[in-house]
Structure 1
């Protein structure tokens, strides 16, 4: 540990700048400018160089980029599809779920749409939250509540909450789709303006 720190210091900016200052001190010594105080001059210039050198900047953590995150969400979505296939839902909720998962599948499909989405970290986060948290929680809470409702009839049907939750998730996915479309439309308009400005 101590050896690695020592080697690290030898390669550091502070040591390089300090060594450059010390070298200037040696030049002053050999030219007779420093006189009998040359050790103080050399040490002082080394210290000054080390002080003015910029501090070492530790490397940033290597977090996965948005494309890698999207690949992980795609894999989680496939696992979620296996879970949803085993759940029996009322027809209305099943229809809403089909619409929602179809839209999510289209957004996650590898290709140019996913490439656009990968450039939108907030969009990736929204999609990830839907796939990993909101959608499985909505379906699982319905399954659990439905069992209790059978034990105590007369309560509000849990499918109403499920249908409302699926509707809200569908609306959120549609907003994300609209934002991505607006991004592409803005890109197209920018290119049109660029070509117009370039015309004589």
Structure 2
């Protein structure tokens, strides 16, 4: 996961083919196509005549507007400020979890809750003792405050149909990739809690480097053409 990039289908940094795919999978286009099917149906039923193409186009436009207005992805904060207090950071994490929860499956939400438990235990030490372990634990703080929010924000920004049906990397959908990442991050954060409790500086450094490498690219569409 490198620097964050928007998953918006109109992002100028996206190749045209990818932008077209995101549009095709969007709720607006799916709703527009579904409503537009009524045009040919009405024609074959004899309810409309020569103007059926214009009526079909109008139905698509109406469906597109309804789909765009009805199921807009929420705006997710892509980072949590390092300057926040522990309580403030946890409240931001809780707000983030509440926003993304409807877009995740039961197992993914379970990992997110477990992550929150681990973070609540370890965050006071990470933010409260910056001088002693700052070099070793910087990457871990980044995972909590930036990598996780960015990854979840990029996932939620994808059209729901695209997340679950279109393979984006190694034959896996964005939903499968996020499930794998949350499971891995959950396990690593539990390791970090144990290492912090045991004052195992060497293990903390190893976990921090691992997370930096594994979660440095929060954009599910990076590299797609």
Greater Rg over alpha carbons, structure: 1
TM-score between the two structures when normalised by the length of structure 1: 0.45
**Larger RCO (CA within 8 A; separation ≥ 6):** 2
Q: Which has the higher helix share?
A: 1
